[in-house]
Amino acid sequence: MTENLRLPPPAVGQNFVTISALEGGSLTLPKSLFITNADPEKRTTVPSLCFLIKHTSPSADKNKTTKLVFDLGLKRDFSGYTAAQQHHISQRQPTSTSPDTAASLRNGGVKPEDVDVVVLSHVHWDHVGTPSDFPNAKFVVGSGTLDLLANGGGYLYPKELFHHDELPFDRTYELPPVEGGKGLRAARKQTVHKWEKWDGFELDVVDYFGDGSLFVVDAPGHLFGHVNLLARIGVGRWVYLGGDCCHDVRILKGESDVATYSDGCGG
Ligand SMILES: [Zn+2]
Q: pLDDT tens for residues 6-57?
A: 899 999 999 999 999 999 999 998 888 778 878 888 999 999 999 999 999 8
Q: How far apart are CA 52 and CA 71, in angstroms?
A: 9
Taken in order of first residue, the domains within the chain and their CATH numbers are 17-252 (3.60.15.10)
59 CA distance to ligand 1 centroid (A)?
37
What's the confidence (pLDDT) of residue 262? Answer: 62
262 CA distance to ligand 1 centroid (A)?
14
What's the confidence (pLDDT) of residue 267? Answer: 55
DSSP secondary-structure letter at 106? H
123 CA distance to ligand 1 centroid (A)?
7
User: 213 or 59: whose pLDDT is higher?
Assistant: 213
Q: What are the b/e assignments for 145-167, b being 16+ CB within 10 Å?
A: bbbbbeebbeeebebebbbeebb
31 CA distance to ligand 1 centroid (A)?
14
Phi, psi of 208 (to 5 degrees): -60, -50
State yes or no: ipTM above 0.85.
Answer: yes
267 CA distance to ligand 1 centroid (A)?
4
Task: Give how far the C-alpha of residue 35 lies from the chain's centroid of Cα atoms, to the nearest Å.
Answer: 20
pLDDT, the chain, mean: 91
What's the confidence (pLDDT) of residue 263? Answer: 56
106 CA distance to ligand 1 centroid (A)?
25
pLDDT tens across 171-196, in order?
A: 999 999 998 777 789 999 999 999 99
C-alpha radius of gyration, the chain, whole number: 18
Cα 223 to Cα 26, 61, 118: the distances in Å are 20, 36, 18
